[in-house]
Amino acid sequence: MKVLVSAYACNPSGSLHLHPGEDLTGWRIVGQIGRFHDVWVITHEYNRKGVEEALKTDPSARTIKFHFLKLPIWLKWLYRIEFGQRIYYFLWQFSAWRLARRLNAKVRFDLAHHVTFGNDWIASFIGAYLPVPFVWGPVGGGQRTPRPLLGEYTLYGRFAEAFRNAAQWIGRRMHVRRLCLKKAKAFLVCNRETMMRIPDRYKGKTFYFPVNGFSAEDFPGGERTRRND
């Protein structure tokens, strides 16, 4: 199939000053999709150096077509404030959707897959508005800090957590998220907390897809059994 992947973070070097976990998740999932399908990836410009270096040494990735996209330089200040990165990312997604429309007019994709950021409450414009079948995830975002632990936070930390909770409440009620959930052929979630945030009518197409970085090969002897102490 011809697959369009939206992966804001997609970097084999895991840019430590930005989003190392998301970067590596995006890169690995894109690589797996590329084993079986023709892939076009829309990602942020900050990933260009890491991606281009990897393409020199990884022949299997050379068939993947990358499109690097960034917002105007005057919006970079958003990365310096609390939660500004999420605002920047929301605006970037709108630009990614405009690019996706132009690509789809030429390629006619069979599927669109939103990979990163892996967040259930900031929806994908590509998923909501591009007229092709859509897969969303894997995503998390359903976790919240338990109330008894908030006392361990600084005043700034408590403010940041309150702002995050408010942003989640708003994001889950936005029309674009409702469209994503309705349109998605499959919705992949990382944990039970996020599963609980999915409306019941969409649970039938929601699947657990843990992103924990481990496989059975990482443990001697294969699967481990739980020891009763």
Would you state the pLDDT for residue 157? 85
Both structure tokens of 222: 């294969």
Confidence of residue 102 (pLDDT cuts 50, 70, 90): very high
| Between 65 and 161, residue with greater pLDDT | 65
Would you state the pLDDT for residue 79? 83
How many angstroms separate the CA atoms of 220 and 82, rounded?
42
Both structure tokens of 59: 């022949």
Lowest mean pLDDT among 32-46, 93-107, 177-191, 205-219: 205-219
How many angstroms separate the CA atoms of 26 and 21, rounded?
9
Confidence of residue 26 (pLDDT cuts 50, 70, 90): very high
With pLDDT > 70 as the criterion, what percentage of the chain qualifies?
91
Nearest CA to 112 among 184, 170, 63?
Answer: 184
How many angstroms separate the CA atoms of 40 and 48, rounded?
14
Task: Report the topology of domain 2-143+176-218.
Answer: Rossmann fold (3.40.50)
Q: How many CB atoms lie within 10 A of CB 13?
A: 15
Domain residue ranges of the chain, discontinuous segments joined by +: 2-143+176-218
What does the pLDDT average to over 87-116? 96
Confidence of residue 13 (pLDDT cuts 50, 70, 90): confident
Asked if 143 and 118 count as a contact pair (C-beta separation under 8 A), the reply is: no
pLDDT digits (tens, 9 = 90+) for 105-163: 999 999 999 999 988 999 899 999 999 999 999 999 888 888 888 888 888 888 888 88
Confidence of residue 186 (pLDDT cuts 50, 70, 90): very high
Residue 148's alpha-carbon distances to 139, 141, 142, 152, 212, in angstroms, are 26, 20, 18, 8, 26
In the sheet where 184-189 sits, what is the strand order?
65-69, 38-44, 2-7, 111-116, 134-139, 184-189, 206-208
Q: Is the pLDDT of residue 61 over 80?
A: no
Whole-structure pTM value: 0.87
Furthest-apart CA atoms within the chain: distance in Å:
61
How many angstroms separate the CA atoms of 7 and 37, rounded?
16
| Between 188 and 222, residue with greater pLDDT | 188
What does the pLDDT average to over 10-19? 76
Host H or E run for residue 124: none
Lowest mean pLDDT among 60-64, 101-105, 125-129, 178-182: 60-64
The dihedral region occupied by 206, where left means phi > 0, alpha psi between -120 and 50, and beta the remainder, is beta
